[in-house]
Amino acid sequence: MKSQNKTRDPGLATQDSSRVVLVVDDNQDQRNFLEMWLQEKGYRMEKAENAQKAKKYLSKKIPDLILLDLMMPDMNGVDLCRWICRQFSTRHVPVIVVSSISDEVTINDCLEMGAVNYVAKPINYPELLDKMNLALNRTEKRKKERG
């Protein structure tokens, strides 16, 4: 079901498949759908179905962005967010929480731990794309400012 149309949204003119998004979500259907959607938008996706696999991936590779679900079997997503944002190698990587948990306390906890944004499930894909682009553009701007 991969789109053969090579044209992209005007807002994605700078996106290419060199940008890697790590999706951490224990729901395989959600990961598969996100993978198709991200490919359509010009991103490469890596996936981890739990916190331990995410940590293992992050010990070897650094993505450009992380989409993180909070409900995982092996570790609370807030704790994983904290871990990612405290590691020297990953603290610069923007984390967007994508979760069905939408109470203010949890959202604030995630933002305080270092997440750059939050998107509620079911996912509003245009909203997610806007937040991804904003996070990636900010990261790129910071890199340029540092030289």
Residue 24 CB burial class (10 angstroms; 0-12, 13-18, ≥19): buried
Q: Domains of the chain, with CATH numbers?
A: 17-146 (3.40.50.2300)
Q: What pLDDT does residue 130 have? A: 98
* Cis peptide bond upstream of 94, omega within 30: no
Task: List, edge to edge, every strand of the sheet that includes 117-120.
Answer: 44-48, 20-24, 65-68, 95-99, 117-120
Q: What pLDDT does residue 62 have? A: 98
Q: What pLDDT does residue 16 have? A: 55
What distance lies between CA 52 and its chain's CA centroid? 16
Q: What pLDDT does residue 146 have? A: 82
Put simply, whether the predicted model's pTM sits higher than 0.95 gets the answer no
Q: What pLDDT does residue 79 have? A: 94
Taking the chain (147 residues) in runs of 10, the rounded mean pLDDT of each run is: 38 61 97 96 97 98 98 91 96 96 92 96 97 96 84
